[in-house]
Amino acid sequence: MQAVIGWILRLGVLLSMSVIFIGGVIYLYRHGQVIADYHTFKGVPDFVHNTRGILNGIITFRGRAIIQAGIILLIATPIIRVIFSAIGFILEQDYLYIGITLLVLLIITASMLSGHAG
Amino acid sequence: MMSVIVLTLILFIGSYFAGLLGSLTGLGGGFVIIPLLTLVLHVDIHYAIGASLVSVIATSSGSAAAYVKEGITNIRLGMFLEIATTAGAMVGALIAVYIPTNFIAILFGIILITSAIMSLRKKAELINQEKSPLAEKLKLNSSFPTPNGPVNYSVKNVGGGFFMMGFAGIISGLLGIGSGALKVLAMDTIMRIPFKVSTTTSNFMIGVTAAASAVVYLQRGYIDPGLSMPVAIGVLLGALSGSKILVHTNSSGWLRWVFAVVVSFLAVQMIYNGFIGKI
């Protein structure tokens, strides 16, 4: 199980970083000369804020949408690791740790939903 | 006012050194990233927290991959304590919205100084053999490989460590850092876990802890792709270089001191700017 977990983490980081890099190159090519303004908090543009916007942005080669997809992939990496840990504990028939792992997944899901409400 | 390309280059170089120093000293890259963004580049602290959190996930996952393979990481212990850290991280991210930014800056400074001092303290390696009924029930006692064969160890004060982990999670969610120093404190000092195991297990937990608050920040618009891109790539490459150097040199004593001084200076700046309301 340790080998699988190591492999998932490595693959997730490699894949998401490549996506972020590709998006970054496109973003800098198209917007490199624009004046950057992060002085006041305004959130993020709509096309990188929701799933539909990001998907649309990827199809139309918008750099920031591709970066954001890479970031979501990166955030998903440790969560996918937890899911695989659960599978590992199921194979070992370790019921206590199946429960503990599911509880962690439940907390992350709750966090995901509470962010949406706020 | 600077263009996107200039800002990206500055961020990339700054993040590379942040990742390098963070990995050499074990404090993590977030400690330099947030002051760099807010104090030097005048980026709003919410964006800084978002970008730092992304870099924390990248470095933690990247290095955890290597440690897990070596068999030092205690996966059951990590999994059990992740209940506390993810719950804490969720709470931290949710209350962050209601806390004034200057208070966040001050808190950041305080945690920063505490961690810097802790990174300087001498580590005495003690292997605890005392059995605790709760640790046994949770199957937390384990062994780790050494050149002289596997060493068995037992875990103490499970409740106290769990509570401390919840606190580490809140700080991580609130400030967008890995709070590795607090996690190691909980495992070293309270639970009496061997240093090698506590560092690698803490690192293993940081990724999922940060992910639990990142899902909130992502939806709140704190994670800006333009900022996060150079920060995440820079910190990860810096941390990778750091782990390569660490293998070749053992005398990082003076480096810890240099870093502790730099970090304390940044911390004082964060606290000062927090008090005068500039952050």
- Residue A55 placed within a domain: yes
C-alpha to C-alpha distance for B7 and B13, rounded to whole angstroms: 10
The interface predicted TM-score (ipTM) is: 0.93
C-alpha to C-alpha distance for A103 and A96, rounded to whole angstroms: 11
- Residue A37 placed within a domain: no
Residues in chain B: 279
The answer, as to whether pTM is greater than 0.95, is no
Instruction: Please report the pLDDT score of residue B70 as a whole number.
Output: 81
Instruction: Please report the pLDDT score of residue B80 as a whole number.
Output: 97
C-alpha to C-alpha distance for B43 and B10, rounded to whole angstroms: 13
Disruptive mutation site among A20, A66, A87 for chain B (greatest number of B CBs within 10 Å):
A20
Q: Which two tokens stand for residue A103?
A: 């509880």
How many domains are contained in chain A? 1
Burial of B253 (0-12, 13-18, 19+ CB in 10 A): exposed
Phi and psi at residue B3, to the nearest 5°: -75, 165
- The CA distances from residue B103 to A54, B109, B213, B220, B276, in Å, are 33, 10, 19, 19, 11
Phi and psi at residue B144, to the nearest 5°: -130, 150
DSSP string for residues in B42-65: ---HHHHHHHHHHHHHHHHHHHHH
Domain boundaries, chain B: 4-275
pLDDT digits (tens, 9 = 90+) for B37-62: 999 999 999 999 999 999 999 998 88
Chain-chain contact of B54 with A74 (C-beta, under 8 angstroms): yes
pLDDT digits (tens, 9 = 90+) for B191-247: 999 888 888 898 889 999 999 999 999 999 999 999 999 999 999 999 888 877 765
Closest Cα in chain B to A77? B61
Chain-chain contact of B54 with A108 (C-beta, under 8 angstroms): no
- Residue A39 placed within a domain: no
Instruction: Please report the pLDDT score of residue A116 as a whole number.
Output: 62
pLDDT digits (tens, 9 = 90+) for B152-197: 999 999 999 999 999 999 999 999 998 888 888 888 889 999 888 8
Q: Which residue segment(s) compose the domain that A100 sits in? A: 2-32+44-117
CB B50 within 8 A of CB B176: yes
pLDDT band at B100 (very low <50, low <70, confident <90, very high): very high
R_g (Cα) of chain A, nearest Å: 18
Q: Which of B218, B224, B225 sits opposite A75 (nearest CB)?
A: B218
- Residue A38 placed within a domain: no
Instruction: Give residue for tokens 């704190």.
Output: B222
